[in-house]
Structure 1
């Protein structure tokens, strides 16, 4: 599910909303060990630049939210940052960490509101009946004291809206909901399994909120509650539109949410919110039609571990220290999130709206200006910007630690550009675009089986591939593209035969891989199927 929105004065409002939510956390982390899950880490990453901001606020250490983590005897305070309900596995992990440590003061921040916790514990309306007391949070505070081993110790549970990751003033992601995926035909069959014959749904557009599983209902209500918190901060009265079955349910739940109804009565500004099922735009997601440098950087470079929206940028070529020890080097980790560097942040935001050629020229201009301010011997040249030219400009900062620190954000974006333009996958970009156009043309002239048969010659095993050939991941992308632009597929013998041939060739190709990529590992593990490879 994706959401597009047009907010009045939204850029500053959304950014300040994210910052204010994290300020609530910063006020509690002094002299504490912080345990944080991946979704919260991604929000912090884009809002304040990462864990360094927690350390600046006085945190002793920042650790992964895992049952394998704990704190030392000399660390009596803990702060937990979770994007999920205080239920199930989340509770188990908190209990494990607390039991293995010697805490006397524990604070838990959850990105799920107390109202949703009430629903999760089948206690809807309890907050209103008790004058707004947060009974679920209070009960969890008692559990924390029990796990710490002394009921006189201090425990606090608070709601903090840590669910947004502001990629730019006009674009923000919701990492905690990255796995919320629209319903498919298989889901309809599963929903109908528990219903009588007369009450079965004919299609997905007939499914309503109450017919969904309790887990999916809670996830949708969590999303609606979070958006309501954001809109309340913005003083906004929204009008919702939806495209797709799941988006319709989400938009309806937000419209009917009791707290949202109360907010809309007093809100001063108006805005439109459009919810779109992501399955309706798979062609755009897998296509190579964009002439945008930022899109290529995010597509080509390896993902930052635990993050869905940022990439890793190697800085070793600028930070390696020459010593007698060949294994000694200082490596500054790089990424695209630079909230603490206004110049780099502004450059990154501009790249998202510029075409490829304009973007690389803008990066060159920023490098030239930075080098001039640092009195570095830069030689300006006109004409086409090449990755080699950008790399040579970045090298001027290598032996100037102060200049490197002053412009680290710019240099990370410049190196991200260099690595992207030199990456083999970038060289395939135009090939992908040309082949996709050919597939689209052929689908207009012939049936799907004929197009699938065109794929067979390009499905090659690892030993028979060159750098210009398509990998199994590339072929999966092409298959998604083909089926996304195809008209409604009717089962027929010719199509079945064509699909079986493609499946067999693809399985042989995957089984021939010396090592499966992260994507292929996820696909094979998630389906829990073993490939049978005939010898």
Structure 2
């Protein structure tokens, strides 16, 4: 196996899936379906020999003549119950369970509460899990003549670009300790987490281990943040990881970072990236965390009333894995300006233009109207549409983003952020910023501003200022009261789990107080950092201040040829080494010179637990490219995170 990129890793393991699906009904969970979308989509399965493809749901089953079932699953206890329902309601004689999660982790979950440490330490957990799962499958099928297979295939990555990858199965993984941003104790281990958080840590570590194994990589693990230290600990000490490192030879540095150290980047509405603007404006593609639903009604004859809720018409999307031209445009949506993206789309559309619009060379400016005109001209011409479906969907997405009422909201929030940044930069002492935000909340309906975006703005302010600004208690109390009223008024549309919207004013006040407590925690997240404790930096021009995130500062130092000491980056083995140094009283003065540096390895992978934005990806990649460093830097994260989603993830509901 010679795999040199994450995209190759994904393709290699999808081929292993396709080898097992001939003549089968394939059942996929949402996360696997999202990964499939980025590898080529449904037709990869159908063209590969699957007789049907269904969602992993207890309401699904196979028809009587369909005797082979393949289940692509995260193998959680809930999903295993669902598989049992499907099998019992079908007539299978051959079942294949493909676990996307390493079987040693599945074994721990199957035997939760039992002492299985000896089996795990001996490296027998995968084999024991296979036996258990095979026995369960045979029991569910209930026939004497039946065949079952259990196999681990690590399907968990998608690659928006060659330097960025995301992990959809861990889209909701967030650095919390029993739901808190700050752990109760300075001494933490996996059992500082609740069962769900603990399972997610082990599962992500197992996925990263599979990736490193497939790419023959032997890693040095670094981390920044308490939660990341736990993931680093599993990677460093798990028997499966220890065994893999003995056999792998390519050096790599893996840096794991808590998103909560710097939430200002993902709660900002000031992104120049077209992809961020689209993600903030259009609804999510159903069941996905990293693509959007595009209204296809402008090119269809269907009489659609309320897309995307109207199920007459399937939504379009942004990413098209089998179209190189669309992959290029998607890359532009991250890394190029809006003007460049518009010209790129117009240029590609002009080749299919049935009305012969002006050549791209003669246009001074490409407008949403000029792009839309070409797209709409193909309405009903399904031969043209089918040949150019990818670029048409991307063009519609950009047009719908630019024409959306939400775009005006984002522009307003962007200008508000700039004002706040100027105010904070002018006075690092207590300011009237919270009063400004309180006024915005009170007048949000006249300004057409969603409350969840204003909550993102508050998180942005607290994360941006950190411990550098102490807000006036009176202002904070006033904001709590204002938020309490707003939460009560918007209870039916705000992201509350209870869809009935039943809430008393007292309950909304309690939620508001919890929010304020969380804002204050967010401001404290960088207090343990030495060098990266501030993200509000003077501009290079010498006038004003700008946001320079923790990740940006880390990457800049990482690729700096002067090799500045990365004082906030911890190495998994540092603790014991420091103890030895202290005990022997040697080398203490030379620690920084002799300690390992992540850029010693030819490749560095930076994984952000909790998500990233397209703008952050663009800035970090530019930093690497302009540095001239030989080190290849890959940025990875749980998901793409627009401001409203970042607020949902950060706040305790």
Judge same fold: TM > 0.5, yes or no. Answer: yes
1:505 to 485, 490, 494: 485
Distance apart, 1:74 and its partner CA: 2.4
Kindly tell me: are residues 65 and 141 of structure 1, through their superposed partners in 2, closer, same or farther at Cα, counting changes over 3 Å?
Answer: same
Higher relative contact order (CA 8 A, sep 6+): 2
Find 1:138's aligned residue among 117, 126, 131: 131
Cα distance, 1:99 vs structure 2:
1.6
The verdict on how the C-alpha distance between 1:84 and 1:451 changes in structure 2, with shifts beyond 3 A counting, is farther
Instruction: Report the Cα offset of residue 112 of structure 1.
Output: 1.2
> Distance between the aligned counterparts of 1:164 and 1:124, measured in 2?
30
- Alpha-carbon distance in structure 2 between the residues aligned to 1:251 and 1:448: 38
- Superposition pairs of residues 406-425 of structure 1, within 5 angstroms: 406-425=387-406
Per-residue deviation, residues 154-196 of structure 1 (Å, max 9, x unmatched): 121111111112222222211111221112596488x75xxxx
Q: Does 1:27 align with 2:19?
A: yes
Residues 115 and 32 of structure 1, relative CA distance in 2, 3 Å threshold: same
* TM superposition shift of 1:370: 4.3
Structure 1 residues 156, 287: closer, same or farther in 2, change over 3 A?
Answer: same
Structure 2 match to 1:480: 459
Aligned to 2:505, the other structure's residue is in SS state coil
| Aligned CA distance change for structure 1 residues 506 and 409 (closer, same or farther; 3 Å) | same
1: CA distance, partners of 2:499 / 2:428: 34
> Which whole-Å CA distance do the structure 2 matches of 1:175 and 1:62 have between them?
20
- 1:66 to 1:129, Cα distance in 2 relative to 1, 3 A: same
Instruction: Indicate conservation of the 8 Å contact 2:430/2:471, yes or no.
Output: no
Map Cα deviations across residues 419-450 of structure 1 (whole Å, 9 max, x no partner). 11111111233321211122233345376673
Contact 1:224 1:257 in 2 (8 A): no
CA distance in 1, matches of 2:416, 2:92: 59
The two structures, once aligned, show a CA RMSD in angstroms of 3.1
In 1: Cα distance, 2:22 partner to 2:39 partner: 19
* Partner residue of 1:378 out of 343, 346, 357: 357
Aligned to 2:37: 45
Residue 223 of structure 1 corresponds to 204
1:441 and 2:427 matched: no
2:141 to 125, 148, 159: 148
Instruction: State how far apart, in whole Å, the 2-side matches of 1:125 and 1:20 are.
Output: 33
233-242 or 449-458, larger mean C-alpha shift: 449-458
Q: Secondary structure at the match of 2:262?
A: helix
Partner of 1:301: 282
* In 1, Cα distance between equivalents of 2:238 and 2:126: 19
- Residue 310 to residue 38, structure 1, CA distance change in 2 (3 Å): same
Structure 2's unaligned 5+ residue stretches are: 304-309, 509-653
Q: Normalising by structure 2, report the TM-score.
A: 0.69
Q: Please give the residue correspondences for 1:209-358 in structure 2 after superposition, counting only pairs within 5 Å.
A: 209=190, 211-320=192-301, 331=313, 333-358=315-340
Match of 2:47 in 1: 56
- Cα contact 2:58–2:86 (8 A) shared by 1: yes
Q: Which residue in the other structure is 1:198 paired with?
A: none
Once residues 283 and 300 of structure 1 are traced to their aligned partners in structure 2, the CA distance between those partners, rounded to angstroms, is: 19
Output the CA distance in 2 between the equivalents of 1:384 and 1:133: 59
Q: What corresponds to 1:178 in structure 2?
A: 171
User: 1:101 maps to what in 2?
Assistant: 90
Structure 1 stretches of 5 or more lacking a match?
Answer: 1-8, 193-200, 323-327
- 2:428 and 2:383 map into 1 onto residues whose CA distance is 62
Out of 441, 458, 467, which is 1:459 matched to? Answer: 441
Q: SS of 1:352's equivalent?
A: helix
Q: Per-residue displacement from partner, 1:300-348 (whole Å, max 9, x unpaired)?
A: 11101111100011222113269xxxxx998464111211112111221
1:471 aligns to what?
Answer: 450
* Cα deviation, residue 387, structure 1: 0.2
CA distance in 1: counterparts of 2:226 and 2:120, whole angstroms: 31
Alpha-carbon distance in 1 for matches of 2:9, 2:424: 47
2:350 maps to 368
Correspondence for 1:4: none
Q: Which SS does the other structure have where 1:303 is aligned?
A: coil
> Would you say how many aligned residue pairs link Structure 1 and Structure 2?
492
Structure 1 residue 502 displacement after superposition: 2.2
Deviation of the 1:127 alpha carbon: 7.2
- Which stretch shifts more, 422-431 or 305-314? 422-431
Work out the CA distance in 2 between the residues paired with 1:174 and 1:329: 28
Question: Residue 508 and residue 226 in structure 1: after superposition, are their counterparts in 2 closer, same or farther (change >3 A)?
Answer: closer
Query: Relative to structure 2, which stretch is displaced further, 358-367 or 179-188?
Result: 179-188
Give the conservation status (yes or no) of the 8 Å contact 1:320–1:329: no
Deviation at 1:16, TM superposition (A): 1.8
529 and 174 in structure 1: CA distance in 2 versus 1, 3 angstrom threshold: farther
Q: Say if 2:104 and 2:129, in contact at 8 Å, map to a contact too.
A: no
Q: Structure 1 residues 83 and 448, CA, compared in 2 at 3 Å: closer, same or farther? A: farther
In 2, Cα distance between equivalents of 1:133 and 1:507? 48
Cα deviation, 1:123-166, whole Å, max 9, x if unaligned, reads 34537869787222222212212211213311211111111122
State the Cα distance separating 1:108 from its structure 2 match: 0.9
**What CA distance in whole angstroms lies between the structure 2 residues aligned with 1:131 and 1:479?**
49
Indicate how the Cα distance of structure 1 residues 207 and 528 shifts in structure 2: closer, same or farther if over 3 A, else same: farther
Secondary structure at the residue paired with 1:63?
strand
Residues 329 and 287 of structure 1: is their aligned pair in 2 closer, same or farther, counting only changes over 3 Å?
A: closer
Structure 1 partner of 2:57: 66
The CA distance in 1 between the partners of 2:380 and 2:160, in whole Å, is: 31
Aligned equivalents of 1:254, 1:16: Cα separation in 2: 22
Q: Pick closer, same or farther for the CA change 1:471–1:124 going to 2, 3 Å.
A: same
Q: Which string of whole-angstrom CA distances, capped at 9 and with x for unpartnered residues, describes residues 246-288 of structure 1?
A: 1122123212233333433443433322211111231111102
